[in-house]
Amino acid sequence: MDQASAGRRTRTVQIGAVTVGGGSPVVVQSMCATRTVDVDQTVAQAHQLARAGAGIVRIAMDSEKEIPAIKEIRAQTKGVTLSVDLQENYRIADRVAPHVDKIRYNPGHLHHIEKSKSIEQKVRWLVDVARDHNLAIRIGVNCGSVAPAFLDKYPGDQLKAIVESAAYHCDLMDDLGFTRFVVSLKDSDPLKVVEANRRFAERRPDVPIHLGVTEAGLPPEGIIKTRIAFEKLLAQGVGETIRVSLTLPNERKHEEVVVGHQIVEDVRAGKFISVPEFGQGLNIISCPSCSRVENEKFVEMAQQVKELARYAAKHRITIAVMGCRVNGPGETDDADLGLWCGPTTVNLKKKDKRIGFFSYDDVLGRLKTELDRLIAEQSAASN
């Protein structure tokens, strides 16, 4: 499907050999969940995703130690369009740039580093890097890591904060005369994704949008959540490239791409299979994993949490399961119960309060206790 036929025509952005926007067919992309320093595994997964139909393959990086690996990955994936996710270390962009086709930066992660420099200076430097190396940029805004300046400016209105943050970074690009960029506004709640992207598309109809429901979780629920957002937006012509984020073991990671193509095809054919009442009961969110996962038990843990919590299906409770200690703590703050996985232990939280660290074997028992307690509290409150 192309978005021009759905009534929207953005500017064109060239990313390596791939054209996004300007009426081109929707590009389905995906991301490696392997450790980037493991060149063999990452190369294998990049090919696995590309074979399944990923137009762009993203690789996460946030350490200088990964630079030799990306050079080697590039050498072994010549036909694949590569994007790099700079995560929390935009400073490595200039050394990564010769080996990729696109860089993604998160506006919410620019303030941590080089505090004496302004955001404008940092963005100008990233644009210079992109220009020097013939790269595209994605401004990747995420509800879990909104720039503090925008949260402070719009207290209690996170949606406005993320839309304004994205629009501000577009203005910076405009001031620099740089047009080769796309924007994403992601959240784990599909309805927020719809609203944020709808508002942004109205504000900047010229800018191609990368759609994503972050931490959608395990299939099939993760697919349903993604469909709720993508079907609505794609049908309105919003979304020039998409990424489906599912919690899957590495050997099944390409299913994200298969699902993405299926959604695009279904929307083109007018087949909509969203479940309107979905999300009324138990909601389990889990991240799609990436190179930051430090214990491969993470995906199994997410599956075990889903099994364990089945009995609470009718209760309006959100459980978040995250794969690392970098984003895990922040991304679980809004959940009723949150787990984030470290190298040897799992941290269990109730909202933003820590309950404690537990071994991978012991955490499920404690989770059950906390879940029972929460259900009892909800029942007492409703009586």
Q: From the list 229, 323, 335, 364, which residue makes contact with ligand SF4 (rule: CB under 6 A)?
A: 323
**Backbone dihedral region for residue 307 (phi beyond 0: left; psi -120 to 50: alpha; all else: beta):** alpha
Least Cβ distance, residue 312 to ligand SF4 (angstroms): 23
- 20: its two tokens: 């996004």
DSSP 8-state symbol, 53? T
Least Cβ distance, residue 328 to ligand SF4 (angstroms): 5
Residue type, 362: D
**Backbone dihedral region for residue 156 (phi beyond 0: left; psi -120 to 50: alpha; all else: beta):** left
Q: Which is nearer to ligand SF4, 167 or 326 (CB)?
A: 326
* Site for ligand SF4 contains 327 (CB under 6 A): yes
- From 40-48, 106-114, 320-328, 365-373, give the range in contact with ligand SF4 by CB under 6 A: 320-328
Residues 328-347 that bind ligand SF4 (CB under 6 A): 328, 331
- From 50-58, 198-206, 269-277, 327-335, give the range in contact with ligand SF4 by CB under 6 A: 327-335
Judged by DSSP in three states, 157 sits in coil
Q: Which is nearer to ligand SF4, 50 or 287 (CB)?
A: 287
Q: Which is nearer to ligand SF4, 256 or 331 (CB)?
A: 331
Residues 148-207 that bind ligand SF4 (CB under 6 A): none
- 161: its two tokens: 């904060």
Q: Which is nearer to ligand SF4, 293 or 309 (CB)?
A: 293
Least Cβ distance, residue 185 to ligand SF4 (angstroms): 17
**Backbone dihedral region for residue 193 (phi beyond 0: left; psi -120 to 50: alpha; all else: beta):** alpha
60 Cβ contact list (under 8 Å, min separation 6):
31, 32, 36, 84, 85, 87, 290, 291, 292
* Site for ligand SF4 contains 140 (CB under 6 A): no
Q: From the list 119, 149, 159, 326, which residue makes contact with ligand SF4 (rule: CB under 6 A)?
A: 326
Q: Which is nearer to ligand SF4, 315 or 325 (CB)?
A: 325
Q: Which is nearer to ligand SF4, 212 or 239 (CB)?
A: 212
DSSP 8-state symbol, 59? E
Least Cβ distance, residue 253 to ligand SF4 (angstroms): 12
347, β-bridge pairs = 340, 357
Least Cβ distance, residue 277 to ligand SF4 (angstroms): 28
- From 61-69, 274-282, 323-331, 370-378, give the range in contact with ligand SF4 by CB under 6 A: 323-331
What angle separates helix 158-175 from helix 119-132, to the nearest 10 degrees? 60
Residues 283-302 that bind ligand SF4 (CB under 6 A): 287-290, 292-293
**Integer CA distances (angstroms), 341 to 35, 159, 259, 321, in order:** 15, 28, 27, 8
141, β-bridge pairs = 185
Q: Which is nearer to ligand SF4, 217 or 328 (CB)?
A: 328
Judged by DSSP in three states, 36 sits in coil
- 171: its two tokens: 């203005």
* Interatomic CA distance for residues 104 and 31, integer angstroms: 12
* Interatomic CA distance for residues 123 and 225, integer angstroms: 33
Q: What are phi and psi of 347, to 5 degrees?
A: -90, 130
Least Cβ distance, residue 326 to ligand SF4 (angstroms): 6
# chain residues binding ligand SF4, by CB under 6 A: 13
Least Cβ distance, residue 297 to ligand SF4 (angstroms): 13
Least Cβ distance, residue 164 to ligand SF4 (angstroms): 24
* Site for ligand SF4 contains 324 (CB under 6 A): yes
Least Cβ distance, residue 87 to ligand SF4 (angstroms): 7
* Site for ligand SF4 contains 212 (CB under 6 A): no
Least Cβ distance, residue 195 to ligand SF4 (angstroms): 23
Q: From the list 93, 126, 233, 322, which residue makes contact with ligand SF4 (rule: CB under 6 A)?
A: 322
* Interatomic CA distance for residues 344 and 325, integer angstroms: 11
* Interatomic CA distance for residues 354 and 288, integer angstroms: 23
Show the DSSP H helices in the chain as ranges: 39-51, 67-76, 93-96, 119-132, 148-153, 158-175, 190-203, 221-235, 255-268, 298-308, 328-331, 363-382
Q: Contact positions toward ligand SF4, by CB under 6 A?
A: 287-290, 292-293, 322-324, 326-328, 331
